[in-house]
Amino acid sequence: MTLTGDSGVFVLALVLLYLAIFLVFGVALRPNSGLPMSRRRPDVPTQSSPLTRLTDQAVGALNKGLRKRGTGLLTQDRLDECGLKKEPGDYLIMAGVITLTAAVVGYFLAGLFAAVLLTLLAPLGLHVLLNFLAARRRRQFDQQVPDTLQMFSGGLRAGHSLLRAVDAAGQESQPPMSEELGRIVNETRIGRDLGEALADVARRTQSEDFLSISQAIEIHREVGGDLAEVLDHLGDTVRDRNQVRGQIRALSAEGRMSAIVLMALPVLMFIGLTFFNEMYARTFTSTLPGYLMIAAAVVLLTAGGFWLSRIVKPKF
């Protein structure tokens, strides 16, 4: 009876593993051209496979549902903050595939408990990855602001209009600055107010320096004056702020590394003991006191991680 049940679970896990592999390489990692076939070769009738049609319908339904909700962890604004180009439905399908793959791999490696644990940890890991991508993009954007200000003032002194100076700065910059400035130019050309486009970039990148730029430009449009000189002074201020910010990050680097070690050490020790001493780990994965100890450890690690993040993240 037990042997039959174990065989059934093994077959189910094997089927899920093949399904996960198929979804990874057939759906999530399926190549997607930037232009549809109808635009690249209009004389050729469009033909799509059933899998492509099913995938497109699923992605369309997910995008429609996410747009109706408007809020959530995976929205278009959130993806724009991370610099990701696809729509939320594509990444939601990828997240489901990764979660399924993690659950199957966990079951094959350490049983049902590991499968459930990885099923819960996979979405959390993807959320942490999005936060990392957004923070890295904001940091790169802040580092490019002083040079962008210099290009703005140089373009204005050369006799260009403000929009032309923004366009020229976008062509000379590297991502993510070039992407944001290009978006400003495109939105302005189709009728959006320049001040609103600048403020939207400051909100999306959470950049106080770029918010100062948008406010200075908006004030200049109302009262007039020498905008190039204002941008020069603002650029000096931004450079000084970036220098102070870099000094603070250097002084707090030891604290951040200590926090990472303190958070990762218990988890890595538990994983190591699971592989080297299965009898020791079985106490935590097969008994009620073990489950309670794991729950307590998760709560304490979460509270400690929150406390450490507040300590090693100074604000000025």
Looking at the structure, tell me whether residues 192 and 272 fall in a common domain: no
Looking at the structure, tell me whether residues 228 and 286 fall in a common domain: no
169-196: average pLDDT: 90
Confidence of residue 268 (pLDDT cuts 50, 70, 90): confident
User: What pLDDT is stored for residue 65 in this prediction?
Assistant: 61
Looking at the structure, tell me whether residues 235 and 149 fall in a common domain: yes
Task: Give the Å distances, CA to CA, from 198 to 6, 116, 159, 210, 216.
Answer: 60, 45, 21, 8, 11
User: What pLDDT is stored for residue 13 in this prediction?
Assistant: 63
Tokens 């995938």 sit on residue: 55
Report yes or no: 146 and 235 within 8 Å, Cβ to Cβ: yes
Coil/strand/helix, residue 138: helix
- Domain boundary pick from 188, 210, 245: 245
- For residue range 73-94, what is the model confidence (pLDDT) as tens digits? 677 777 888 888 777 777 777 7
- Domain boundary pick from 245, 276, 292: 245
Closest to 91 measured CA to CA, from 103, 77, 104, 74: 74
Q: Torsion angle of alpha carbons 258, 264, 266, 271, nearest 10°?
A: -150
Report yes or no: 221 and 274 within 8 Å, Cβ to Cβ: no
CB-based contacts of 19, cutoff 8 Å, min separation 6: 100
pLDDT of 174 strictly over 80: yes
Q: Which tokens go with 25?
A: 């390489």
Q: Which residues constitute the domain of residue 218?
A: 137-245
Distance (Å, whole) CA 308 – CA 303? 9
Looking at the structure, tell me whether residues 2 and 87 fall in a common domain: yes
297-303: average pLDDT: 86
Q: Do the domain assignments include residue 132? A: no
Q: Do the domain assignments include residue 291? A: yes
User: What pLDDT is stored for residue 1 in this prediction?
Assistant: 40
- For the chain, what is the domain count? 3
Task: Give the Å distances, CA to CA, from 134 to 78, 84, 206, 242, 261.
Answer: 8, 10, 10, 19, 23
Distance (Å, whole) CA 188 – CA 161? 13
Q: Torsion angle of alpha carbons 126, 128, 129, 135, nearest 10°?
A: 150
Q: Do the domain assignments include residue 118? A: no
Looking at the structure, tell me whether residues 169 and 234 fall in a common domain: yes
Q: Do the domain assignments include residue 130? A: no
Q: Is the pTM of this model over 0.85?
A: no
Q: Do the domain assignments include residue 2? A: yes
What CATH number has the domain bearing residue 188?
1.20.81.30
Looking at the structure, tell me whether residues 141 and 233 fall in a common domain: yes
203-221: average pLDDT: 88
Looking at the structure, tell me whether residues 260 and 234 fall in a common domain: no
Mean pLDDT, the chain, integer: 78
Looking at the structure, tell me whether residues 7 and 63 fall in a common domain: yes
Confidence of residue 181 (pLDDT cuts 50, 70, 90): very high
pLDDT of 2 strictly over 50: no
User: What pLDDT is stored for residue 51 in this prediction?
Assistant: 52
Closest to 217 measured CA to CA, from 295, 156, 293: 156
pLDDT of 233 strictly over 50: yes
Q: Do the domain assignments include residue 41? A: no
pLDDT of 139 strictly over 80: yes
